[in-house]
Structures are given as C-alpha cells and as structure tokens.
Structure 1
Amino acid sequence: MSTDSSALRRRSLSGPTMGTRYSAVFFAPGDLHEQKLAAALQAAVDRVDCQMSSWKPESDLNCLNGAATGVWVPVPAELMFVLQGSLRIGQQSQGAFDIGVGDLVGAWGFGVRPAPADDLPLGPVVPRPATTAEALELDPPLRRARKHAPLALDLSGIAKGFGVDEMARVMRQFSIPAWLVGIDGEMRAGGAKPDGTPWAVAHERPVRGVREAMGVIELEDRAVATSGNYRHYRDIGTRTISHTMDPRSGQPLENGLASVTVLADTCMEADAWATAFLVMGDVAGPRLAQVMGMDAIFVLANGTVLGRP
C-alpha cells in the first residue's frame, strides 16, 4: 500500500460499542479496502465488549464474577492482559485504582440494574473481605483465574482504553500511516497528519451540562484519557453522587478534583491512571504523577489547573 502523502485521503469510520460509539479518523491511499477496515475495527471493539462488559450477562468478566470461590475460570488472552494491568496499576497507585468495586458501584445505583434514587440509602455498607490483589489469582500461562473471596470486578475504568488500543492495533495492521481512534473521550493517535501537524484533541472543561473545550491537546503516537465527576452522577436528595468510587473508603468519590487527563503510550494506561489520579486527589495525585514522570492535567473544582502535558 502506497504511503505517498500526496495520495492520502482523509476518511472516517464509526460504529456502536460499549453503550456508546467508536470513531476513527485517518489518512489513507485510495486503494484501501474501507469495508474490510470497518469490519476489523468493529470486530476488535466487539471482542473487548463481549469479554469485559459488566452489562452483558454472558461476558467473560461476568462468568468470572459469577463463579464460586476457589474455582478456576478460563480467561481469554485480552481479558487476562487487562486484569494483569489492572492489578499492577492498583499496586502502583496504592489501591486508588481497584477493579474490585463492582458491588460498591451497584450499591450506589450505578450498576447494571440501578436502584431508584429515592430507594438508595445515604451510605450503603459494602463489606470488603479482602483486597482485590488478595482475592483474585491469575494464572496467565494457562489463561485462567479464580477468586479466593467474594468479588465483583468492574473494568469500566480501563476497558474502553484497552478497546482504543485494539483499534490502534487494527490501524497498524492495515498499514495506515496517520490515524486518530477513540471511544468517548479515550483517544489514541498514530503518526502525524500528512502536512506534518499533530492531531488535535479538545480538553473538555469539566462543567456539568456544558460541552466546551478549555484547551487543545496535541497528539502524535500518544494516547489520552480523562476521568471526571461531571458526566456520570446521580442526585440523591440534596447530595450529588459521583459514579467514581473511592475503593479505600467504600464511598463515592468526594475531593477537590473535577477531572484528570492523562497522556501515555497506550490508552489502557491513560484510562486507568486518569481514574487512579482522580481518586488520589489534588495533592497525592499530582505528586505521584510527577514521581512517575507521567504527563497529566488536574482540574480542580474551582477551575484551577495543575500540570500540563
């Protein structure tokens, strides 16, 4: 396939996935078989959804969630990779990122069958008999996992990012020289545009009910993801409840941050770390990001911006 920049045409594709839509914008030569690319992208995100969805009863994740303790459950390679990454980031973030919050998410009305707001107690107690690292055992060589304690896993803070990485893998397989793929606000870019400029992604202002950019992030062979409390929340009485859970307190997240945006080499890493830093708050989050040498933007509830990519 020719990659002469003069022969490249801008194209776009999109399709349904994970309760939203994926998007792909790219420059490719005229001989690209667009229908094959579209089918490959759809297959990639469908595979992630079928393996990692909390909403599909038959997903591999829910098979593991529904298994009895002590029973080995087969785990496909992609799910195993995400589980391994989740446990690693959970350890590196000192528990701020924790995929074992499925019961907690459900208790606060954000699960598969959310309770009516009026029926939710202010402060449901969800017992945590063990940490996720203690309760979940992975056997990567045999692609299997088992629980040693009751545990409901939720991959909503990392699965979309991995789905974007799978789309990136497809774009590379098709030898497309310049592309930007995404699912919601999780984005990854490959190469620069034919004119040599990087891809531009809006950095959204974290204000409820408003769609407005507060800046632009330039991407070239990088990924970006944002976590915040301004899109998914519930009003219970006079209290606004964030969909992000603090696994350390067992409560919906309440701190001085409105959003965290992270740039990384993969979208899975950016996605998970955006959640971890958001949970850590406006002091510990920026401090760890600096120690780890990660590019992150922290937006406080009062609009103050900490850090720049």
Structure 2
Amino acid sequence: MSTELTAAERRSLNGTTMGTRYSAVFFAPAGLDETKLAAALQATLDRVDRQMSTWKPESDLNRLNGAAVRVWVPVPAELMFVLQASLRIRRQSQCAFDIGVGDLVAAWGFGAHAAPPGHVPTDPVVPQAAITSEALELDPHLHRARKHAPVALDLSGIAKGFGVDEMARVMREFSIRTWLVGIDGEMRAGGAKPDGTPWVVAHERPVRGVREAMGVIELEDRAVATSGNYRHYRDIGARTISHTMDPRRGLPLVNGLTSVTVTADTCMEADAWATAFLVMGETAGPRLAKAMGLDVIFVRADGTVLDWA
C-alpha cells in the first residue's frame, strides 16, 4: 500500500469469522494505524464468536445450552444483550423469530449438530421454541441466565448482525467517520462517502446457484440484512428443505417468499427481523412491517417484489 495517502484515502480490510468472511471499507487519513484497527476488528469478532457460536463447544452459548435445567449460568454482557433482544423480537414477531430452534435445526440436518445427510425426522420434533420465553430466564443485573426446560438455543439469526454492529463500534472508537462494514450479506454503513454520495450495496437476486444483483440499496448511517431460502438448503428425494425453521409449526419453512431484506438502524435488528418476516410470509410479514414503519423488501418465489418503505 502506498504511504502517500490522501486525507480521504479509500482503504479496506477483511478476514475470517463465524465460518465466513468479514469486510471493512473506509476512508481515513494517513496517520491511521491500520494494523491496530485490523487487530481490534478481529479481536472483537472473535469475542462475539466465542460467546455466541453453536460450533464452538466451549462458547458461552453452548455452556448455557449444556447446563442443567434451573441452574444459573454466568453470561457475558454482549450475550445477555443479544438474548434480551431475541426475546423482545420473539414477542413483537408473534413467535416467528425464536432462538429456541436448536433441536429443530439439527433434526433437519443443519447447523453444528446436524443429523446425518438424508435423514428425515420420523417423529414430530417438539418445537421447544414455542416455550422459549418461559423456558429461558434472564437476570441482567447479576449477568446470569437459566433454563426452565431443556431448550437448545441457536443465535444464527441474530449473532452476525450483532457482530457487524460491534465492528461499527470499533470504527467509531478509531474516529473513522466514513465506513461500510459487513459479515457476509449483513452490512452497516457509517456516514456517506467523502463525495457526499451514500454507500451502495447489491440486493442479490434470490436464485439458487446464481450470484447476481437484482438491484442496489443505498445506505447512510443504516444497516441492511437479508434472509432467504436460496443459499442454504438440503435436497431430500424430491423435497427441498429450507435451513430456516418455522418455530410455530416445528417444521422447515414453507411459504411463498424466497427472500426478505430489511434496513434498520442496527444490523442486529435488521438480521433478526429479516428472519422473522421471512417466516411470517407474504401476507403477515408486509402487514407487520408496515405497522412498524420498517423498510423491507419482500421477494416472492416467482420473482415478484413487494417493497415496503
């Protein structure tokens, strides 16, 4: 990299986290210590992963999952914040978003504890998510949590968004005012670019096996996240099984939507609501999005776009 950087030089960093990659694009003066910034971003994301991963046996989330019923478990502040947000969004979404789907996800062959390929549950999987709000008790004052039923928690629908928000916090701590950070398809922008134009991210066409944009989304001090059934799925015989579960039915999601994209103030909120609206479907989802005043793009399986802004 050239050492003769202008006051608004475009720079970029990237690395690995949560089984995928993170990226940071920003404009900063020559005096910025890029090595320290990269280390801070990586350390922050490693901490989130250490706390919230279902893939790491020693994660704080897995300690809670593995604890006996009614035994209090110490919970770090970041994980407590995400658990509280998860229960709130569960209530607001009428149970369409629920982190208690761990057993359901595994039973249908997804996630860290996936059943063998080709396995189809022969008995109905009890939707533990249906009682998550009663099964999980949080004590934020003493930084602890406990379960009242053997529910398996899965934060895959919200943790990446929170990780992006943590990246945003690091950028602000380094006094960087203009940036775009992201983990996979979850993105958050800080400010506008130096020329005054907003950041632009692609709105991906939700077609299996195809990576192309169907449009663009402009961001300025906003976050965006997409949830869909076109990337992660399993084919079992003639059936295609979505990795997104409907916690209300205790089954893989089946409805007329193929993707939902949400823009919000934080990426955590955008991430969770994208999943919630996808589960709610093409009628209830847009109705609630409109009532909440959220900016949401719904795409039906036939390619029809419903744009709620």
State the TM bucket, normalised to the shorter chain: over 0.9
Contact 2:101 2:127 (C-alpha < 8 Å) held by counterparts: no
Report SS of the residue matched to 1:141: coil
63-72 or 129-138: bigger deviation:
129-138
Tell me the equivalent position of 1:231.
Answer: 231
- Per the alignment, residue 196 of structure 2 pairs with 196
SS at match of 2:118: helix
Residue deviations 1:199-253 (CA, integer Å, cap 9, x gap): 0000000000000100000000000000000000000010000000000000000
- Per-residue deviation at 1:112? 1.2
Partner residue, 1:13:
13
Contact preservation (8 Å) 1:107, 1:126? no
Q: Map 1:29-68 to 2 at 5 A.
A: 29-68=29-68
Contact 1:108–1:124 (Cα < 8 Å) also in 2: no
Deviations 1:111-133 (A, max 9, x none): 21323333323664235396100
Which amino acid in structure 1 is aligned with residue 210 of structure 2? V
Alignment of 1:105-144 (within 5 A): 105-121=105-121, 124-126=124-126, 128=128, 131-144=131-144
1:96 aligns with 2:70: no
The verdict on how the C-alpha distance between 1:24 and 1:283 changes in structure 2, with shifts beyond 3 A counting, is same
1:248 alignment partner, SS class: coil
Partner of 2:294: 294
Whichever residue aligns with residue 104 of structure 2, its letter is L
TM-fit CA distance, 1:307: 1.3
Distance in 2 separating the partners of 1:20 and 1:260: 21
Work out the CA distance in 1 between the residues paired with 2:20 and 2:263: 22
**Cα 1:140/1:11, change in 2 over 3 Å:** same
Number of residues of Structure 1 aligned to a counterpart in Structure 2: 305
- RMSD after superposition: 1.4
Q: Residue 192 of structure 1 contacts residue 220 of structure 1 at CA under 8 Å; is this kept in 2?
A: yes
d(CA) in 2 for partners of 1:253, 1:122: 17
- Whole-angstrom CA distance in 1 between matches of 2:127 and 2:85: 25
Q: Is the 8 A contact 1:14 1:22 kept in 2?
A: yes
**Cα separation, 2, equivalents of 1:297 and 1:77:** 32
Separation in 1 of the partners of 2:6 and 2:43?
A: 31
The separation in 1 between residues aligned to 2:213 and 2:93, in whole angstroms, is: 29
Q: Distance in 2 between matches of 1:110 and 1:16?
A: 21
Residue identity in the other structure for 1:78: E
**Distance in 1 between the 2:206 and 2:129 partners?**
35
Alignment of 1:181-192 (within 5 A): 181-192=181-192
Q: Deviations over 1:40-88 (max 9, x none)?
A: 0001110000000000000000000000001000000000000000000
Alpha-carbon offset, residue 8 of structure 1: 1.0
Measure the CA separation in 1 of the matches of 2:8 and 2:78. 32
Q: Is the 8 A contact 1:117 1:235 kept in 2?
A: no
Q: Which runs of 5+ in 1 are unaligned?
A: none
Q: Counterpart of 1:20 in structure 2: which amino acid? A: T
Moved over 6 A (4+): none
Q: List gaps (5 residues or longer) in structure 2.
A: none
Contact 2:105–2:114 (CA under 8 A) maintained in structure 1: no
Amino acid at match of 1:155: L
Instruction: State the match for 1:179 in structure 2.
Output: 179
Which residue number in structure 1 is paired with residue 276 of structure 2? Answer: 276
Report the Cα offset of residue 37 of structure 1.
Answer: 0.3
- Between the aligned partners of 2:109 and 2:124, the Cα distance in structure 1 is 10
TM-score by length of 2: 0.96
Letter of the 2:58 counterpart = E
- Of 229-238 and 113-122, deviating more is 113-122
> AA paired with 1:205?
R
AA at the equivalent of 1:69: V
Greater Cα offset, 124-133 or 244-253: 124-133
| Preserved CA contact (<8 Å) 1:60 1:75 | yes
- TM-superposed deviation, 1:302: 0.4
Instruction: Measure how far apart 1:152 and its partner are.
Output: 0.3
